[in-house]
A and B are shown apart, each in its own frame.
Chain A
Amino acid sequence: MNISQFTTAASDYAVKVDRLFYLESVIAGLVVLLVTGLIVVFFALYYRGSSTPRGEVPERKSREIEIGWTVATLFSFLFLFWWAASDQLTALAPPKDALEIHVIAKQWMWRFQHPSGAREIDELHIPAHTNIRLAMTSQDVIHDLYLPALRLKQDILPDRYTYEWFNATKTGTFHFTCAEFCGTDHSVMAGSLVIMKPEDYARWISAQPQADDLAHQGEALFRSFGCSGCHTPGSTVHAPDLHGIYGHAVQLADGRTVTADEAYLRDCIFLPDKNRVAGFPPLMPNFSGSISEGQANALIAYVKSLTTNRAARTPNASPGQRGGSPP
């Protein structure tokens, strides 16, 4: 293993983080030099028994000094905060068009699912110069996907999605690892991040064992778990139609309005009573235990693929009252 697998700054963001780090290192170095320098000078001048003249420091002067360095410190810290915060804020919003890869962490391994349906374990291939968004969840305890070369780290929680996004600029093989203590084999829960040229990635992904893409897998599951029995327009059971639901606002029974994102859809599968949609009876069975996180990802991908175009074909579909007629 080579140290550059950790230290290479493989994205523009990583370069910015390094720049901030070096800036603060220089400031810290100067302060340490200042303090040590003063101590050495004072020791030399005012060592006990030395003949340097000493007198009182006037009250007024010492107050001025005191206020002076308080203000100076405050402003330099505010400056650092401003710099750090602007780096943080510009990196905040993930771009809309990002390539989305699902990450499932469990004691003590990593599973990745590409949009094409290709799966990997403890190894992640991604294209460079592409916005990548990792949608991550855990099957057991808290983990943390640490990508040293990208200077990124994000905890991964059970029953919740967290995200990391980046745009890698350097190709090569880098290290990634778990950074939140997760039990016995925490220290070996690691793998390699392979950043490839986009065309190489395209070649690589097409050479993967033929698997249906995630949405198609989801479609099959949608039928085999019996979801389609209720969630089809015209079904006799009164259940919300799912076409075009992703990304749109949903009115809930308790008066709240939420946006149907991955987390919401996931909750609908595992905690159906948590966010009941207004106007529908609580009939949805709880699938926690019978559907795995991986299958849930496929189902969610399928629901995301159901566009409004098809929904438009069904008559009477209006927001808040999606789905067929009452039984």
Chain B
Amino acid sequence: MSDTAGALQHPWPDLRMQRAGVSLGMWMFLASEVLFFGGLLVSYAVYRSFNEEAFRIAGAHAQIVYGSINTVILLTSSFTMTVALRAATANVRRVTLIFLGITAALGVAFLVCKGLEYREDLKEHLFPSPQFPLSPPATAMFWGFYWIMTGIHAVHLTAGIAVVLVVWTLFKRRVIPVQGSTMEGAAIYWHFVDSVWIVLYPLLYLAGRS
């Protein structure tokens, strides 16, 4: 408990306020992120409502096995992240470090899986180009969304993994105490990346299954 003082940063008067502040700041950033993906989602919704059939045809070509495995991986990582956060708040250092480690590993597993999936997609020329195999033309639109959405999500996840690893290192070397507000921010962000995937999954993988 002695290291709580080291967690307090300028200009906050006390740690409780600081934690609330970081959490608030993080949530406001997420509201911003929601609108960022919102621009993408509204475009998807407009085009899908006018190209029902094309999106169904195109959606049937998404790799549902990889997509589903990845969904399970991310949901699990959210669970491990929550455990890590609770452990950090309770100042249980060892558990915090272990579960942070698992979370980062799951994140990496997601990216590996995603990479394999991309390889399959490219093998089938599903990246819009003159060799694109599907028709009507709006199927290319679906795949445009596929690459942009999963790509942006992967970038967000990579950033999340980097944050988790940095936090892990700082905790491990006792640069900052686990009880500070850092964990709070990292956890909220990680869950957000998971939330995005929860929305993308049905849009990209479940279209055209029936």
Direct contact of A and B (CB under 8 A): yes
Contacts of A271 in B (CB 8 A): 136-137
Contacts of A272 in B (CB 8 A): 136
| Complex Cα gap A241–B36 (Å) | 47
Residues B137 and A274 in contact, CB atoms below 8 Å apart: yes
Q: Bound state CA distance, A271 and B141, in angstroms?
A: 14
Nearest-neighbour CB distance to chain B for A281, whole angstroms, equals 13
Contact B136 A254 (CB under 8 A): no
Q: Does B54 contact A (CB under 8 A)?
A: yes
| Interface flags, A244-259, vs B, CB<8A=1, else 0 | 0000000001101000
Q: Is A273 an interface residue (CB 8 A)?
A: yes
- Name the residue among A256, A272, A274 with the largest chain B CB count within 10 angstroms: A274
Q: Which residues of A contact B136 (CB under 8 A)?
A: 271-274
Q: How far, in whole Å, are A253 and B56 apart by their CA atoms in the complex?
A: 13
Number of residue pairs spanning A and B whose beta carbons lie under 8 angstroms apart? 17
* B124 touches A (CB below 8 Å): no
Q: Does B135 contact A (CB under 8 A)?
A: yes
A256 to B138 alpha-carbon distance, docked (Å) = 17
- Residues of B in contact, count (CB < 8 Å): 8
B3: CB under 8 A from chain A? no
Task: Write the chain A residue with the least CB distance to B139.
Answer: A273
The digit string for B115-144, where 1 denotes a CB below 8 A from any CB of A, is: 000000000000000000001111000000
Contact with A along B31-62 (1 / 0, CB 8 A): 00000000000000000000111100000000
Minimum CB–CB distance from A81 to chain B (whole Å) comes to 27
A256 to B52, CA, bound (A): 10
**Set of chain A residues within 8 Å of B53, measured between Cβ atoms:** 253-254, 276
Q: Smallest CB–CB gap between A84 and chain B, Å?
A: 28
Q: Specify which chain B residues have a CB less than 8 angstroms from the CB of A254 in the assembled complex.
A: 52-53
Find the B residue at minimum CB distance from A288: B137
Contacts of B137 in A (CB 8 A): 271, 273-274
Distance of B138 from chain A, by nearest CB (Å): 7
Contacts of B135 in A (CB 8 A): 273
Residues from chain A with Cβ under 8 Å of B52 in the complex = 254, 256
Which of B54, B135, B136 is the most central at the interface, judged by chain A CB atoms within 10 Å of its CB?
B136
CA distance A254 to B48 in the complex (A): 13
Q: CB-CB < 8 A to A276: which residues of B? A: 53
Q: Tell me the B52-101 residues at the A interface (CB within 8 Å).
A: 52-54
* Least Cβ–Cβ distance between B131 and chain A, in angstroms: 16
* Nearest B residue (CB) for A271: B137
Chain A nearest Cβ from B52, distance in angstroms:
5
The CA of A288 and the CA of B189, in the complex, are separated in Å by 46
- How near does chain B come to A253, taking the closest CB pair, in angstroms? 7
Q: Of all chain A residues, which has the CB nearest B50? A: A274
Minimum distance in angstroms from A88 CB to a CB of chain B: 25
Chain B nearest Cβ from A188, distance in angstroms: 34
Chain B residues whose CB sits within 8 angstroms of the CB of A273 once the complex forms? 54, 135-137
Closest to A254 in B: B53
Central interface residue in A253, A256, A273, by most chain B CB within 10 Å:
A273
Nearest 8 CB-CB pairings of A with B = A273-B136, A254-B53, A254-B52, A273-B135, A274-B136, A271-B137, A271-B136, A274-B138
Question: Which residues of chain B have a CB within 8 Å of any CB of chain A?
Answer: 51-54, 135-138
Q: List 11 A-B contacts (CB under 8 A).
A: A253-B53, A254-B52, A256-B52, A271-B136, A273-B54, A273-B136, A274-B54, A274-B136, A274-B137, A274-B138, A276-B53
Kindly list 10 other residue pairs between chains A and B, CB separation below 8 angstroms, not including A272-B136, A276-B53.
A253-B53, A254-B52, A254-B53, A256-B52, A273-B54, A273-B135, A273-B137, A274-B51, A274-B54, A274-B138
